[in-house]
Structure 1
Amino acid sequence: MPMTDYQAEARPGWLASLFGGSFNVVVGALAMLFTLGVFGTAAWDAYLSNSKDKSGVKRIIAKRWNERTLVFPIEGADKAGRRALFDVVVLTKDYGWVRGSTTELEKYDRRLSPADIQAEVLAPQLRQGLGSARGLISVGLASQEGAIEREEQRGGLRAVRIAQWVQEALGDDIPMWTLNLGRYVEPCIECEDADTSWQRPFIVIAVRKADDGTHISEALADAMSDTINLPSPDRYSTFAFSKFTK
């Protein structure tokens, strides 16, 4: 039904009587909220477009817990659509596994003692950040040298060693899993050099939130996939996820 002239004129008067003298202020505020909403949506779309290239590969923006530790927040879903949030905690490239070792880390060419690992690697900021997690996942992986079967075994042993270090620092109250990614299998011709330490970093993943019944390994695989600056599962030889027990 068309609106009569009386109805068109009476409706603003009714609103004005409801809000009193603040009617114009209310209208202005609503207009501002609408503008901010549109701007916010556009800004978020711009952020998403900047964090992905045209192929859909994601670049995760990191934060820092200290000068040695980068934290990458990621989110993924299992096959049933249940979602989980994770923090991927990675030591900077100065630190990594000694080549061929499953028990030793190094900083540059200096091998770290057990005391160094507790003081430098598992520093107070890292312990505090991991200590609030709902669950922890220690990640083992190996660089491109060597046969895949042998390197997958090495990755598994590294994951177990990290879990042991973390539980020594935090205790065993937080559920712990291991993730063995195996050997790096997709060398980048344009970025490859003689140093492959970046393919075997020290990584612990904190489970921050998860929907009830979430299949954690599926959600994590989804979250890590197609990432350009994290160990995407498609660049390693396996994805072996298991509960850690002493």
Structure 2
Amino acid sequence: MTDYQAEARPGWLASPLGSRLNLAIGALALLFTLGVFGNVVWDAYRSNTKDKSGVKRIIAKRWNERTLVFPVEGADRAGRRALFDVVVLTKDYGWVRGSTTELEKFDRRLSPDDIQTEVLAPQLRQGLGSARGLIAVGLASQEGAVEREEQRGGLRAERIAQWVREALGGDVPMWTLNLGRYIEPCLECEDADTSWQRPFIVIAVRKADDGTHISEALADAMSDTINLPSPDRYSTFAFAKYKK
């Protein structure tokens, strides 16, 4: 028996009050241990989702077999924060090269009915319908002159906004974001079964602090990401209210 045990047994720590105190101390020790363990797990998670340069890899979830959802969070210049879901069709789907009105699956061009039933499927409509706001994203691949491709990106954003508005109605606030032309080659731009040259993208605003500058918070959220269209890999970041 240790000196500590010999002294503790006959004393007040052996009383009911002492027993309760021991239980309280044990509970606090357990909470402390769990807190330390949680921090270790979180640090390990963050280290696995960032490389040494700080570039982030966003872990996706799925709404259905063709829709990936990347949750991201960012802050505007005043520090006000917003949470977004970046909704992307898998790499099987994308814009027809050179088109601002047509999507394709592999080499099959989708009809307007295909877009409403296959692209804007029930799971996607349900997920977008619960958003506080929606952002239709237009972008273009690296072929062609920057000015022409930026114009193309703007028209694609307008087209997506139109499709989504037709599917969901006019109750949810809508913006457009034109990222312009893809300008920086990226070795992992098709990571997680996604094509980042000219994909179909809609962004749902989930939460935002009062007064948040949405475009600034979104630019921050998407910056330095390895498997999302980071703004520094595109030629512009033109954010506007959709009024149609």
Q: Scaled by the length of structure 2, what TM-score is found?
A: 0.90
Q: Note if contact 2:176-2:241 (Cα within 8 Å) is conserved in structure 1.
A: yes
* Contact in 1 for aligned 2:180/2:236 (Cα 8 Å): yes
**Structure 1: 5+ residue stretches without partners:** 1-8
Q: Distance in 2 between matches of 1:198 and 1:65?
A: 19
* Distance in 2 between residues matched to 1:187 and 1:73, nearest whole Å: 24
Contact in 2 for aligned 1:139/1:162 (Cα 8 Å): yes
CA distance in 2, matches of 1:243, 1:27: 56
Paired position in structure 1 for 2:88:
90
Matching residue of 1:59 = 57
Q: How does 1:14-163 map to 2 (within 5 A)?
A: 19=17, 21-163=19-161
Unaligned runs of 5+ in 2: 1-7
* Distance apart, 1:15 and its partner CA: 11
- After superposition, where does 1:146-185 map in structure 2 within 5 Å? 146-185=144-183
CA deviation vs aligned residue, 1:134-156 (integer Å, no higher than 9, x gap): 00000000000000000000000
Partners of 1:192 and 1:27 in 2: CA distance: 51
Residue identity opposite 2:205 in structure 1: V
Distance 1:48 1:240 in 2: 30
- After superposition, the C-alpha distances for 1:212-239 in whole angstroms (9 at most, x for unaligned) are 1000000000000000000000000000
Aligned residues: 232
| Backbone CA RMSD of aligned residues | 2.1
Distance 1:40 1:191 in 2: 30
Of 211, 217, 223, which aligns to 1:219? 217
Alignment of 1:244 with 2:228, yes or no, is: no
Deviation at 1:21, TM superposition (A): 4.2
Amino acid across the alignment from 2:209:
D
Distance 1:27 1:13 in 2: 15
| CA shift for structure 1 position 49 | 1.0
Query: Does the CA contact (< 8 Å) of 2:69 and 2:85 recur in 1?
Result: yes
Structure-1 separation of matches of 2:174 and 2:135: 6
